Amino acid sequence: MAKHGALLFSYAFSILVFATSLSCKAIDSEDRKTYIVYLGSLPHNEVFSPLSNQIGILERVVQKTSAANFLLTSYKRSFNGFAAKLTEQERERLAGMKEVVSVFPSRTFQLQTTRSWDFLGLNQTAKRNATVESNTIIGVIDSGISPDSESFNEEGFGPAPKKWKGVCKGGQNFTCNNKIIGARYYTDDGASDAIGHGTHTASTAAGNPVKDVSFYGLAQGTARGGVPSARIAAYKVCSVSGCPTEAILQGFDDAIADGVDIITISIGAESSAPFQQDPIAIGAFHAMEKGILTLQSAGNSGPEAGSVSSVAPWTLTVAASSTDRRIIDKIVLGNGKTIVGSSVNSFKLNGTSLPLVYGKDASSQCVDSDARQCVAGCLDADLVKGKIVLCDQAGGNTEAHQAGALGSILNTSKPDVAFVVPLPASGLGSQDYDVVKSYLKSTKRPRANILKSEAIKDDGAPVVASFSSRGPNQIVPEIIKPDISAPGIDILAAYSTLAPITGSTQDKRRVKYSILSGTSMSCPHVAGVAAYIKTFHPDWSPAAIKSSIMTTAWPVNDTKTSPAEFAYGSGHINPLKAINPGLVFEASKEDYIKFLCSVLDEGSVRLISGDSSSCPAGSAKVSPKDLNYPSLAANVNSSTSFTINFHRTVKNVGLPNSTYKANILSSSKVAIKVVPHVLSFKSLNEEKTFDVTVVGRGIPEGSHVSASLVWTDGTHSVRSPILVAA
């Protein structure tokens, strides 16, 4: 994943006719930066003009000239706010206004899949509600889309659903069809995908079935999305320079108003932020108000604890895990030893072994530390010609290729994932890499051969990817994040022929389908499942869909994945079970408002809610753990005994007359009691409440104890993880 550079502001001016691209520079030489001013919900007032209101607020702090000169973007379709260029003094004054929820700087966010759907059990013969699926619209907020891909062919599709309120504004040379029914862009000069990321995620969620696709013969099969009959609306918020905050909010503002059913966004920051300063949390909240579930990637900063950046409870946060297909690449050393590495290597060395050279011995212009890693510009073309280069970091393959080497062996901290390489190359974990280095030193003429990659069966799957961001939730520890895991390693899906497939500028290959890994790839898998559920239950709320996905998940083997629920949440997604969960944990806008009362002041909560919501005072104030969430979590003091009470409500969506009994799967470190122990329902949509009490002694600081509550009626199993951390 490339690091992204400067923020892009220019697009906003094209939609605000009263501003010009030169006005700020001509009028004010002060140091101005782009800030987001979030004002909450749109007032329920037909004569209210969001734009006039926003300019009026801005005029109160900008003294020298017209406030419109500094307004970059107005959010006025689905929520209230704007982006503007402000001085520090102006920012402070705005932040102090009672009608302002938050003022926060624009940040650059980062972009974060044939076999995966079969692995999940959602094969091409799975039960479908084709008519409803065709009326389902998935909004993809990403780097654009490639409308010429076969995965988005309109053959067999009728006109866009009548509920669709969007447009096709994809720029020059961009044409929508009855599959891609809408497109908008907020960066660059069109909605076409020059990165490949947006095309990949869109096709994973809802791409048409396309037979016999592969990446140069690797991972051959039928590429398809989870809901291939669904429609796609693309919102381009990312360019090669990154995904600026103001563009992300524009994407949400439009997608909600356009009438999408599900939003998938495989974008995130390097760290979590308070809800009122997180553009994705803000957008997802207002989507939830309109009955739209937002799914977001957990992030690629694992396995560090607390690295998950998507933490809002109204968002479904997705971790990345493996499937039973693993792509490997073998290295045969001159002494006959074969070592198995990872890479998506489509090249052959024709069975020929080549001389090996270490990066530090192939550089005349860099210090040893840089040369060992094959940092850009370090390798000497004359010293690597006709050879395989050893590089101490995975990115060294780009420099090896550009310097003219014939191959590269790489030391990677993520040996569980294969990345596309521009030359014969293979990534090894540190232990195997040291074996190669030892061999290199043991002989005067070290040689090696790198074989073409191959796909093998991995019976140990699923395991959470090493790169997948982990909990705990740094903003509200009582909400377990991520929520779920899904396939995110070695995923083959549609790609843009405009986009390079590796980081080497000399790699001129272009493909229609490519293999990528990341939580970016896992997120659209769950978006496809959420849309699949919605086709069977069109009236279900975002919370009900989310609950059904979480409570029916496959339990993950703790011995293979660390640190348990902080890595995979409720488990690994199980699409076929999720359409019939039996019970669901509902949560309405009002429930989330009560939750916000536990983390924000009452004035901000009222602005966000758009009504006269008041927060409970004193002892009546709710704890974040009391949100009716499908998982249960609490933090305790590490040195004392504890008693924790959770209160939950479930709705019957299974059999009208049913009785559920509670089962506890727990270690001996805690005692767990459920009251009542039996829930009896006499009708559909009937609700029952229960309490869970967890009692235990001190837990070592930085550790946690986990357990599970499973409600079962003999047909359904409704599982909730219980997590107590110190």
Q: The tokens 């190359």 sit on which residue?
A: 425
What does the alpha-carbon distance between residue 591 and residue 593 come to, in Å, rounded to a whole number? 5
Whether residue 591 lies in the annotated active site: no
Compute CA distances 370 → 312, 365, 401, 688, whole Å.
40, 10, 16, 63
> Do residues 185 and 14 lie in contact, with contact meaning Cβ atoms separated by under 8 Å?
no
Instruction: Give the phi and the psi of residue 698 in degrees, each rounded to 5.
Output: -50, 135
Closest to 595 measured CA to CA, from 481, 472, 479, 693: 479
Strand partners, 464: 321
What does the alpha-carbon distance between residue 508 and residue 503 come to, in Å, rounded to a whole number? 10
What does the alpha-carbon distance between residue 315 and residue 543 come to, in Å, rounded to a whole number? 9
Whether residue 520 lies in the annotated active site: yes
What does the alpha-carbon distance between residue 252 and residue 245 come to, in Å, rounded to a whole number? 11
In this structure, the number of other CB atoms found within 10 A of the CB of residue 141 comes to 32
Whether residue 720 lies in the annotated active site: no
Catalytic residue selected from 78, 229, 239, 520: 520
How many Cα atoms within 13 Å fall on the side-chain side of residue 308?
33
One-letter amino acid for residue 283 of the chain: G
Catalytic residue selected from 142, 188, 591, 713: 142
> Do residues 293 and 255 lie in contact, with contact meaning Cβ atoms separated by under 8 Å?
no
> Do residues 120 and 509 lie in contact, with contact meaning Cβ atoms separated by under 8 Å?
no
10 Å CB burial of residue 431 (0-12, 13-18, 19+) is exposed
Two tokens, residue 302:
């694992």
Span between the terminal Cα atoms of the chain, in Å: 33
User: Which of helix, strand or coil describes residue 574?
Assistant: coil
One-letter amino acid for residue 479 of the chain: I
> Do residues 652 and 689 lie in contact, with contact meaning Cβ atoms separated by under 8 Å?
no
> Do residues 444 and 356 lie in contact, with contact meaning Cβ atoms separated by under 8 Å?
no
In this structure, the number of other CB atoms found within 10 A of the CB of residue 455 comes to 18
What does the alpha-carbon distance between residue 583 and residue 678 come to, in Å, rounded to a whole number? 13
Catalytic residue selected from 4, 197, 537, 572: 197
> Do residues 206 and 249 lie in contact, with contact meaning Cβ atoms separated by under 8 Å?
no
10 Å CB burial of residue 29 (0-12, 13-18, 19+) is exposed
Q: What angle do helix axes 245-258 and 279-289 make, rounded to 10 degrees?
A: 10
Closest to 582 measured CA to CA, from 643, 660, 639: 660
Torsion of CA 509, 514, 519, 525, to 10 degrees: 160
One-letter amino acid for residue 306 of the chain: G
What does the alpha-carbon distance between residue 428 and residue 435 come to, in Å, rounded to a whole number? 10
Q: What angle do helix axes 589-597 and 279-289 make, rounded to 10 degrees?
A: 140
Q: Which residues are within 8 A (CB) of 254 and not within 5 positions of it... i.e. 6 or more apart?
A: 77, 78, 166, 184, 235
Residues forming the active site: 142, 197, 520
